Amino acid sequence: MIFNIITLFPEFFESPLKTSLIWKAQKKNLIKINIYNLRDFTKDKHKQCDDKPYGGSAGMVMMIEPIYNVIQKIKETQPDTKVIYLSPQGKTFNDKKAEEFSKYNSISLLCGHYEGVDYRIVEYLVDEEISIGDYILTGGEAAALVVLDAVSRYIPHVVQKDESVKTDTFREYLLKYPQYTRPPQFKGMKVPEILLSGNHQKIREWRYKKQIEITKLKRPDLYKKFLKKRCKSESSDTRN
């Protein structure tokens, strides 16, 4: 899969993309990451990519021309790329959306800055707006890393054990079950006996029960979705 990151600050990505699973995935050719510096696509002699907004307002707005130019450049070799604008006005990014994005051959992540982009970019050049949460960042670069990381996990073999992705937090609207490792006892704090029993069926049952309990306690919003889906599934089974 190809990730294209369109940014005013390419240096932001120098260290993060050379660490952990993302770096290993690139070395294995499971993913390819291209960084496009917007300043290389402007005709302005000072490499300016922003200007004052029409109508007057505080701050600056990213100009349409360099963004149009870079998208056209990408589409010369990746005509089917999905262009994503990282914006606080977008749909909230979640696990389901990450899995959806992982099915594309190419996605292009446009990092906003200042007061945002010329709105014609949203109207005519972007396929989708995505927000990683209800807060404002200094720029879209951090959001692009979040999306890249979450999507990459769904690409086969990026995570060493693909099965771990299927059982992770947010699958089926449930948070992940508690995890423990050695030693079995530490200063009076013990690992639950069931996990030491070797009875894998009982362990699976315990974990599922804990997922439900933790979700109900920590994320009642997700718990309601889980109950709704389970009721719908049970109703369907009854009709069959």
User: How far is it, in rounded angstroms, from Cα 141 to Cα 225?
Assistant: 31
Q: Tell me, yes or no, if 184 is annotated catalytic.
A: no
Q: Tell me, yes or no, if 220 is annotated catalytic.
A: no
Among 10, 39, 95, 115, the active-site one is 115
Q: Tell me, yes or no, if 171 is annotated catalytic.
A: no
Q: Is 107 left (phi over 0), alpha (psi -120 to 50) or beta?
A: beta
User: How far is it, in rounded angstroms, from Cα 4 to Cα 223?
Assistant: 36
Q: Tell me, yes or no, if 39 is annotated catalytic.
A: no
Beta strand ranges found along 21-81 (DSSP E): 32-37, 50-51, 61-62
Among 10, 16, 88, 178, the active-site one is 88
User: How far is it, in rounded angstroms, from Cα 154 to Cα 146?
Assistant: 13
What is the DSSP secondary-structure string of 146-208?
A: HHHHHHHTTSTTSSSSHHHHHTSTTGGG-PPPP---S-SEETTEE--GGGGS--HHHHHHHHH
| Residues marked as catalytic | 88, 115, 153, 168
